[in-house]
Structure 1
Amino acid sequence: MTSFPLHLLRHGEPEGAGRLLGHTDTAPLASGIAACVAQARELDLEVLIASDLTRAKHAGEAIAAMTDISLTIDPRWRELDFGQWDGLPPNAVDGAALSRFWDDPDGCAPPAGERWSDLVGRVARALADLAAAPTLVVTHAGAMRAALAVLCGFDSRQSWAIDLPYASLLSVRVWPGETRAAQIIGLRP
C-alpha cells in the first residue's frame, strides 16, 4: 500500500486573534499570510486545499500563486463552530461553561455550536476524499486536531493537548485504505 505525505497548515494570524474564531470569518493579517507561504515554500506538493473561511482561503491563494498548483476550497476543513461563543474573547464566556467544553467538547458543546464528534466526522469525510498524493491543506487548529483523531486514533484530550500556533505546519504520512493510518512526521511552529 502506497503512503503519501499530508501537510496540515494552520492559517496565519487573523484580525481578532485570541477570540473564539470558529465560523466567524475574519481576514488574515498580511504577516499571517507571509508566514504560511514561508512554511509551504519547501514542500513538494501535488494537491492544495483550503478551508472556505477567509483566514485560510487567502493563505491558500497565496500558496497557489507561489506553487502554480490549483487551489480547491473545501468547507469541511472549517474550524469548529463555537455557536453563541463564536467571535467572543474567552473572558466574555461563562468560565464554568468554557471549562466544561474544554474538558468534554462532545458532551458540552457551545450553545448552538458544533460538537467535537461532528467536527471529527466532517474532517473524516474530507480525509476519505483525498487522493493518495502529496497534499497541503490550509485549515484551522480544530480541524487539524480532528484529523489527528481520525488518522492516529487520538481522543479529544490527546488532540487538544497539541499546541498548534498560527502558521504551524503538521506533517503526517498517511496509508490509505479502508481504515486510514498515519504517522506524525513533523511539526513546525
Structure 2
Amino acid sequence: MQTTKVILLRHGECEGGNILRGQIDVALTEQGKKQMQTALSPLFSNEFSNEFSGTLSDESPDDCLPDIVMSSPLIRCAKVAQQFAEKHQLGFVIEDRFKELNFGDWDGKTFDTLYQCYAAELDAYWANPWKIPPPNGESMQAFEYRIGDAWQSMLEAHQGQCVLLVTHGGVIRHLIAKALGVSQAGGFYTSLKLPYAAKVEIDVLHDSDKQYMTLNWG
C-alpha cells in the first residue's frame, strides 16, 4: 500500500476588488503575494522568501518538500506556483482542468452589480448550484466531473508522492466534500469558509484498486 499526500493551496487576494472570480484571469495583489508567502513559509528557502519580501526568512526550510507542483493555469495560481517549483528545482505541471468554475455571464462582475441584476437567480444558485447553472456558464455537474477526472489523473501519475496543488476555492471545496463523502448538499460550498491562501491536506491511501481519503485541516 502507498499513500499520496496532496497539499491543496488556495491562491491569495486578487486584483479587481469584490468581484465573482471564476475563470477571469486576474493577478494577485501585493497582499495576496504576502499571504502566499506565509502559507508556503515552511517550504520556502531563504532565497525564495527574499524575492517576495526583500528580507530573509527566519523560518528553516521544511525537509519534506513536495515532489511535484501542479497548478491551475490562471495567473493568480500559476505565477507563484511556478516560481516556487523553479526555486526548489521541482517538477511543475499546469493542469487546465483544475481551473475554477466558469460563471459565464456573471464572471468578473462585482457582487453589487450581480445582486442588482440577478438577485433571485444568485440566491437560487447558491442554495443549489447542481440545479441551476450560471447563465452561459458551467454546470456544477460538469465542474465536478472535470475536477474528479483531473484528480484521478494526478493520483495515477504521482502515486506515493507529495503533490502541492495550487488552485481555487471552488476546487478545494469540492475536494473537501469528496474526502468527506458529501455529495450535492445544498449550501455546503457557501457554508464552508476558505480564506485566501488556505491550506488543506488530503492523504490518499492506495490499496490495490481502492482509494481511501483522509482530510487534514488545521
| TM-score, normalised via structure 2 length | 0.79
Q: Paired residue for 1:88?
A: 109
User: 1:55 is matched with which residue?
Assistant: 76
Identity between Structure 1 and Structure 2 (%): 27
Query: Alpha-carbon deviation of 1:121?
Result: 0.8
Whether contact under 8 Å (2:105, 2:134) holds in the other structure is: yes
Per-residue CA distance 1:126-157 (angstroms, 9 max, x = gap): 11012121111100000111222333322343
Point out where structure 2 has 5 or more consecutive residues left out of the alignment.
Answer: 44-63
Select between 39-48 and 92-101 the one with higher mean Cα deviation: 39-48
Deviations along 1:4-31, whole A, 9 cap, x unmatched? 2111100111101421110100111233
Q: State the secondary structure of the residue aligned to 1:40.
A: helix
Query: Cα deviations across residues 59-96 of structure 1 (Å, max 9, x unaligned)?
Result: 21232134221211011110011100000112212111
Paired amino acid for 2:140 = W
Do the aligned partners of residues 65 and 30 (structure 1) sit closer, same or farther apart at CA in structure 2, a change above 3 Å counting? farther
Alignment of 1:112-151 (within 5 A): 112-130=136-154, 131-132=158-159, 133-151=161-179
Aligned residues: 187
For 2:197 and 2:182, locate their aligned partners in 1 and report how far apart those are by CA, in whole Å: 22
For 1:154, the equivalent position in structure 2 comes to 182
Distance 1:31 1:68, change over 3 A: farther
Instruction: Decide which structure has the larger Cα Rg and report it.
Output: 2
Structure 2 letter corresponding to 1:86: D
Runs of 4 or more consecutive aligned structure 1 residues displaced over 4 Å after TM superposition: none
Alignment of 1:60-71 (within 5 A): 60-71=81-92
State the shift of 1:179 in Å.
Answer: 4.9
In structure 2, the CA distance between the partners of 1:92 and 1:180, relative to structure 1 (3 Å rule), is: farther
RMSD (Å) for aligned C-alpha atoms = 1.8
Q: Structure 1: state its 5+ residue gaps.
A: none
> Secondary structure of 2:81's match?
helix
TM-score by length of 1: 0.90
Per-residue CA deviations over 1:99-141 (Å, capped at 9, x if unaligned) read 1010111111110111112111111111101212111110000
